Amino acid sequence: MAAFDFRPGALSAAELSAAVTAREISAREVALSALAAIEATDPALHAFNEVTPELALAAADALDARLAAGTTTATAPPGPLTGVPVAFKDNMNLIGTHTTCSSRMLQSYQSTYDCTAVRRLLDAGTIPLGKLNMDEFAFGSSTESSAFGPTHNPWDTDRVPGGSSGGSAAAVAAGMATITLGSDTGGSIRQPGSFTGTVALKPTYGRVSRYGCVAFASSLDQIGPFAHTVRDAALALAAICGQDPMDATSVSRPETETQAFLAATDPAARDLDDVTGLRVAIATDLLESDGLDPRIRADVLAQAETLADRGADLIEVTLPSTEYGLSAYYIVGPAEASSNLARFDGIRYGLRVSDPEPTDVMDLYLRSRAAGFGAESIRRIMIGTYALSAGYYDAYYGQAQKARTVIKQDFARVFAQADVLLTPTSPTTAFRLGEKASDPLAMYLSDIYTIPVNLVGTAGLSLPTGLIDGLPTSVQLISDYFNEAAIFRAATTLERAVQFPRNDVPCGV
């Protein structure tokens, strides 16, 4: 055994990869310790839908063999993620795993190809530990709509980890993986990041390919990382970003952007405690919204002061149209979802209920879809189908797209004068399991600060800033399109100031 603590989470990705690359510890030891951590911790949390020891050990052994031989290839260089244990939300395909979307509909579906973001993270030399629990088809904010049972919050197992990427958040928070990937359509990376005290990034729409990630709302979906540190999130983004011919919405961006967001987190490239000249906007109207815990409001203002102390210029702004965000999202999201989920018909894809023998194809569709989808999925499909139906399209979908345009104009006004916008991530800390499960509107409200970012398409990161009654709280840093560098700059400086006590997590390895 190595002389130092190499449990996932005890070391940052950068430190772990340095130790593996220097062969102070083997990738196999890292993989075995991560698998042992999952075995010990996951029964209380249920972050994982599937653990993949064979894939983990095969990747680790291949890595150790290459490092021993001193041979590296273009796709397996020793780099800042070499030997880092990772895991993936269960809506991302990886050959050798199931991709269930935590739904009965896809319970037995086996991946036949790799999601691009997954492949890119693995090609950076990481070790795949498995697939992570989520709200069914990513519909939800608590991971309670999983057909396989909820994930528990490692800070308090009576509470939800947030959602829909709750497994991805809990796995990192509990130290079972160093980096995980989630998807964010309306807050599903950032809100669970906030509830679990993890660094959680939704990149700009188009920054990361969604190929191989089961689609929810194609004009909103984006893949991003969960990590312990801002630096690790930047390293993960650098590994997964970039154009992909398999996703027409992914864009080619200049290499200088990647260099800039890596430099923003690199002590060799800048004074990490200095944000002189960074223009930070505070949306005064968003801080007045009903339902915002006053302690979270006070924390956001305190973080703004910290940034000002480190040289940032604070600017007060308003975002009056964001109040329409939730309503617009709950038309656009379900509308696109109802269309994307039409493929799960029991014939081409998904669960088929054919016993007793169906009377006709409609009977087969109806019985398969009724059995395969859970209550929240059915609710979304019905809302979306209604909103798109003839005669209602203009009143609902058309109107929602107009709201989206005015929200974009609000953001454009902010980013004409500011580099980052600082807001709460979530109006509350983690709620109790069951607390909002029967009240969809209360559940939807927990995404009030995250959803506008998806509608606009810019980037947002949730940064843990402390504990309220023992539960993590956080701020959200939002940038203009493709300016994640500004987010990383502010987040790194704040991270150093707050020193979030991530190792105090009660249910961790």
| Least CB distance to ligand GLN at residue 208 (A) | 14
Residues 172, 472: contact at Cβ < 8 Å?
A: no
Active site residue 26: no
Which of the ranges 51-59, 178-186, 315-323, 459-467 carries the binding residues for ligand GLN, by CB under 6 A?
A: 178-186
The rounded Cα 312 to chain-centroid distance in angstroms is 27
Identify the residue among 168, 188, 426, 479 touching ligand GLN (CB under 6 A).
188
What 3 state SS string does 192-259 have?
A: HHHHHCCEEEECCCCCECCCCECCCCCCCCEEEEEECCHHHHHHHHHHHECCECCECCCCCCCHHHHH
Interactions with ligand GLN, residue window 446-465 (CB under 6 A): 447
Interactions with ligand GLN, residue window 141-170 (CB under 6 A): 141, 164
Residues 33, 89, 165, 168: which is the catalytic one? 89
Residue-by-residue DSSP string for 287-310: GG-TT--HHHHHHHHHHHHHHHHT
Between 153 and 164, whose beta carbon lies closer to ligand GLN?
164
Between 329 and 411, whose beta carbon lies closer to ligand GLN?
329
Would you call 485 exposed, middle or buried from its count of C-beta atoms within 10 A (0-12, 13-18, 19+)?
Answer: buried
| CA distance linking residue 106 with residue 86, whole number of Å | 23
Which of the ranges 120-128, 186-194, 352-360, 362-370 carries the binding residues for ligand GLN, by CB under 6 A?
A: 186-194
| CA distance linking residue 364 with residue 351, whole number of Å | 10
SS3 283: strand
Closest CA to 221 of 280, 181, 259, 168: 181
| Least CB distance to ligand GLN at residue 141 (A) | 4
Would you count residue 136 as binding ligand GLN (CB under 6 A)?
no
Would you count residue 247 as binding ligand GLN (CB under 6 A)?
no
Closest CA to 118 of 223, 46, 231, 48: 223
Question: Please, what's the largest Cα pairwise distance for the chain?
Answer: 71
| Least CB distance to ligand GLN at residue 138 (A) | 4
Between 344 and 365, whose beta carbon lies closer to ligand GLN?
344
Active site residue 89: yes
Would you count residue 184 as binding ligand GLN (CB under 6 A)?
yes
| CA distance linking residue 102 with residue 145, whole number of Å | 8
170 residue type, one letter = A
Which of the ranges 185-193, 266-274, 350-358, 393-401 carries the binding residues for ligand GLN, by CB under 6 A?
A: 185-193
Between 367 and 436, whose beta carbon lies closer to ligand GLN?
436
Would you count residue 138 as binding ligand GLN (CB under 6 A)?
yes
Would you count residue 85 as binding ligand GLN (CB under 6 A)?
no
Give residues in contact with ligand GLN (CB under 6 A): 138-141, 164, 184-188, 216, 333, 447
The residues that are catalytic are 89, 164, 188
